[in-house]
Amino acid sequence: MKKATPINKDIPEQAYDRIYKQAMQRQEAFLSVPGPRIHIGTATCGIAAGALETRSAFEEALAQRNIDAQIHTVGCFGHCYAEPVVIIDHPDSGFPPIFYPEVTSAKAKMLTTLFLQEGDPRFEHILGATVANEMIPSIMDFARFNQEKRVVMEKCGQIDPENIDEYIASDGYSALAKSLQRDSVEIIDLVKKSGLRGRGGAGFPTGLKWEFTQNEQDNETIVVCNADEGDPGAYMDRTILESNPHQILEGMVICGYATGARRGIIYVRAEYPLAVKLVTHAVEQARAYSILGQSVLNTDFAFDIEIFQGSGAFVCGEETALIRSMEGHRGAPRYRPPYPAQKGLHNLPTVINNVKTFACIAPIVNKGAQWFRTIGTKQSPGTAIFSVVGSVVHAGLVEIPMGVTLRTLIFDICGGIPDNKQFKAVQIGGPSGGCLPAEFLDTPIDFDSLTEAGAMMGSGGMVVMDEDSCMVDVARFFLDFTQKESCGKCTFCRIGTHQLLNILARLTRGEGREGDIDLLDDFSVDIKNGSLCGLGKTAPNPVLTSLRYFKDEYIAHINEKCCPGMACRTLTAFYIELDQCARGCDLCEACCPVEAVFTTSNRKKGIDQALCVKCGECQVACPPDYDAVRKVSPAALVPVIEHTG
Amino acid sequence: MAKFIVDNKTVEADESITLLRACLENDIYIPNLCWLKGMADAPVSCRLCFVEIEGEEQLTSSCKIKVRDDMVVKTDTPAVRRLQKTAFQLLMSAHEINCKVCPANKKCELQKIARFLKTGLKPKNMNSHLKEISADMPPNPSLDLHVNRCVLCGRCIYTCIQKQGQSQITFAKRGIDTIISFYGAPEVLSATCSECLACVSICPVSAITLT
């Protein structure tokens, strides 16, 4: 690949300057409008929490009160616990821009009247100011904000994903302009020096992958962005696509230039309709701005991007299955080597990178490999994005420098476990990952440390579990998932995961047998060694890690028919402690959906075990003053209470 | 020609052929189901033909690698046998074991592998999982499919493409429910299939039979 030669003596820098100036003018025009500005996060998570209703409420209230304010829809801030998130910038009030969490329609109407009209920001509803000031504590005083390091998500929640000008005005596509003035080898060198590793899970060095493809340059090459995110509880890629699609496009164009490709494809799940819509829109805008098309930024480099929608098979996130699926075949993996970098889509060399990997490229080009290496660890430079869900106070997307410990992430940044419960385990890496117990909380988060501990970085799903979860049941849940998502091609994954699931399901039903633990271990090792693709090879990980760290729970399930987490229904039972039960109180009886609660002769309550479905409603209904409903495991511990006496 | 060692025996074979083929042609049996001579791209799906190659950490599928000079191959190490036995037993756990009424009896590939691996047909420690036969499968007037005999090797699909240019058989569904299925209009299937029968003769377990 030669250095791109400019057409009409116009270098890409000038072409970029033109669109940059244009974007800045539009941006200034937007900012020069007097009056308040209301920024509403409207990615899928915000919408699910009611952001659209919030927006209508603002619009309605503004019209009613005749207030001139601009509503600005932005992507996702990553603070799911606080959705719908609204930032109100009301310069005339004298207050700095304020971050409001959980803005419902009612709150929106209230804020319109009291803040926008009367100037009272309602301190009780504020999370913080977005800038340091004298009046209101800044959000940056909170760990959830100040311990993050945003590289990929820097602009998420700040800009309107539907407006390319906002991306350009915040230096977007400047990295592309810079790249086009350099030799493609130089760019690959830069990516190699940055130490960037693929963010899809396995952590293969991105620069090396690009180099392999570049070495295959006799042929046309293809750039594919893998946005087939499917791990349960993981939604980083969706959020980035919905909040800042242009950063991904920019990374892909730079990659295309570096590897000599003319064609890029974004493989995105059809289950992400908003992401599909926004990315398609972004591609159209980029074409209109000559960022995609026959001459990228007026150079003779041609590159275009198309969108391919995957139809719901988890296995298509595996790169060879993804290629098969794009070729129109059944989404089933094939044997590697040859790797896609040598023979990929239609047998052409194909670079396949994750959404987050592409999103790292523009910052690396702009700020340099050295800068990137200052973030994170020596072996895993840069940041990691996790969707932290489960039993944590501040769930959501968190971008942290690699090397931060799990403890810092879960307890400092995400606020720890709610309801005074104890931490039990953290599941990292989705169905391919593993569960780590409390002893591993000081493990630094990077590719190698997590793999060593038995989990894996994965694409960034993280589920935090408290004392109420059962590790056998968690393993069962993930095996149920992989078993359903197996493509059915190879023997070990197709039938092996099914057999594993059978044993686990038996354990959770209290039908465990002696020898089951060895059986689980043997099957898991064989499936790991024998499966064809990454899905099968990693499918037993949830079983292997929970066996390693929570073996006592397995033993309790088998020997005592006891579920220590009291989560497996067949192994638990509810009963009423007669000493604490209040005479004449009917709350538990009233709420029982199956009429399993009966009244004893002395007007206290008992539970008919034959009828009870173990929903736990009675325990919730029982007033804290009595606290008479007990849950026990094994179920045989339940004292017998005579129905009539 | 490449000269290499398999189980302490020197073997010579053309460099263009796979290790599995070279072994089979030199009377070294390696269990296999999904591979067929002449396949350009083996599906590597049955996971039986593992071998150990000196210098390589992991076991290798012998249907996928080409022979090369001086390679040292072992086909009967404990690790190889362990994986082969598990794979075989897994296949058998989803196979209807009723040899007496099966037309494949005595020439069945599964019986051969069981004898070779010195293992029983009925797997220990595994639940038998037979598929329910759904009524909505596209019918083929000339052929019957026995989904619970089928080991999903895909030989029929490959052979059908070779004979007919385009396969009349395909994999359908996924995971443990994966089956092979005919597709296309019954008239077309009737006309082509009753003449050809290539899939019937290639099936290692008599999962496709004449009606």
- Tens-digit pLDDT profile for residues A250-297: 999 999 999 999 999 999 999 999 999 999 999 999 999 999 999 999
Catalogue all structural domains in chain B, each as residue range(s) with its CATH number: 1-128 (3.10.20.740), 143-210 (3.30.70.20)
Decide if pLDDT at A631 tops 80.
yes
Decide if pLDDT at B117 tops 90.
yes
A226 CA: distance to closest CA in chain B (Å): 22
pLDDT for res A6: 53
A529 CA: distance to closest CA in chain B (Å): 8
CB-based contact A490 B174, cutoff 8 Å = no
A453 CA: distance to closest CA in chain B (Å): 21
Considering only residues A5 and B49, tell me which one the structure prediction assigns the higher pLDDT: B49
CA distance A225 to A305: 10
Which residues of A sit within 8 Å Cβ distance of B? 313, 330, 332, 334-335, 483-492, 494-499, 502, 515, 519, 522-523, 526, 529-532
Instruction: Tell me the average pLDDT across A34-46.
Output: 94
Give me B123's structure tokens: 């797997």
> Is A592 within 8 Å of A576 (Cβ atoms)?
no
DSSP B98: -
Q: Is the peptide bond before A444 cis (omega within 30 degrees of 0)?
A: no
CB-based contact B174 A487, cutoff 8 Å = yes
Decide if pLDDT at B111 tops 70.
yes
Q: Which range, of A283-287, A418-422, B163-167, averages the lowest pLDDT?
A: B163-167
pLDDT for res A5: 56
Q: Is B145 left (phi over 0), alpha (psi -120 to 50) or beta?
A: beta
> Which one of A490, A495, A511 would you mutate to disrupt binding with B, by most B Cβ within 10 Å of its Cβ?
A495
> In 3-state terms, what secondary structure has residue A296?
helix
Reported as a pLDDT band with limits 50, 70 and 90, residue A644 is low
Decide if pLDDT at B105 tops 70.
yes
Instruction: Tell me the average pLDDT across B133-143.
Output: 82
Instruction: Tell me the average pLDDT across B5-18.
Output: 95
Instruction: Tell me the average pLDDT across A35-56.
Output: 95
CB-based contact A495 B82, cutoff 8 Å = no
Counting residues of chain A whose pLDDT is more than 70, the rounded percentage is 98
User: How many A×B Cβ pairs under 8 Å?
Assistant: 91
User: Nearest to residue A235, comparing CAs of A459, A42, A401?
Assistant: A459
Distance, CA of A643 to chain centre: 50
A491 CA: distance to closest CA in chain B (Å): 6
Which residues of B sit within 8 Å Cβ distance of A? 41-48, 50, 58-59, 61, 64, 82-83, 86-87, 90-91, 93-94, 125-127, 129, 152, 170-171, 173-178
DSSP A135: S
As a residue count, chain A comes to 645
Decide if pLDDT at B90 tops 90.
yes
Chain B residues near residue A531 by CB distance under 8 angstroms: 47
Mean pLDDT over each residue of chain A, to the nearest integer: 93
Catalogue all structural domains in chain A, each as residue range(s) with its CATH number: 33-146 (3.40.30.10), 172-374 (3.40.50.11540), 383-466 (3.10.20.600), 471-560 (1.20.1440.230), 572-637 (3.30.70.20)
pLDDT, tens digit, 9 for 90 and up, residues A123-180: 999 999 999 999 999 999 999 999 999 999 999 999 999 999 999 999 999 999 999 9
B148 CA: distance to closest CA in chain A (Å): 13
In this structure, what are the phi and psi dihedrals at residue B5, rounded to the nearest 5 degrees?
-115, 125
Chain A residues near residue B61 by CB distance under 8 angstroms: 335
> Is B31 within 8 Å of B84 (Cβ atoms)?
yes
Residue whose entry in the numeric block shows the structure tokens 């005074």: A420
Instruction: Tell me the average pLDDT across A523-535.
Output: 95
